[in-house]
Amino acid sequence: MRSPEELTTAFRAAGLKVTPQRQLLFTLMHNNSAHPTADSLYAVASKQMPGISLRTVYQTLTDLTEMGELRTIEVGAGAMRFDPNVSDHHHAVCDVCGAVQDVYVNQAPELRGLDGFAVADAHIVYRGRCASCSASVKRS
């Protein structure tokens, strides 16, 4: 996702308005590696701008996604997550704390069973324990 300044220009160029709500969300998502849900982003945004609505957060995230500035990811159950990293990558989800981190694969694996299926896209979700949750395991 581009910087808040570039997004301001891009939005205006697309005939979209740049409101204070949107500017705040631009800055909150820029370089955000937390893979937030709409709701968690709303919680953060509300602190800086009390009264902003969850509906607006959803709307702006949808706009950014349609412009290709965000990717949406679904990791098992729960809400949709938004990722400002739109490069080709995958995700690892910690089963303990729920944190999501980016993962890159070096080469695509060979497949069996494709049977004429034309692959356009692939997304891998890894599950396990993140480094900090692995470290905090008490001996049992």
Residues that bind a copy of itself (CB under 8 A): 74, 76-77, 89, 92, 94-95, 101-131, 134-135
Amino acid at 67: M
Question: Residue 27, Cβ neighbours under 10 Å: how many?
Answer: 15
Contact residue for DNA among 43, 79, 86, 131 (CB under 7 A): 79
**81, 73 Cβ separation under 8 angstroms:** yes
CB of 98 to a copy of itself, least distance (A): 13
Distance of alpha carbon 103 from alpha carbon 78, whole angstroms = 20
Phi/psi at 15 (5° precision): 80, 15
Q: How far is the CB of 49 from DNA (least distance, A)?
A: 7
Residues near DNA (CB under 7 A) are 11-12, 15-22, 37-39, 51-56, 58-60, 62, 78-80
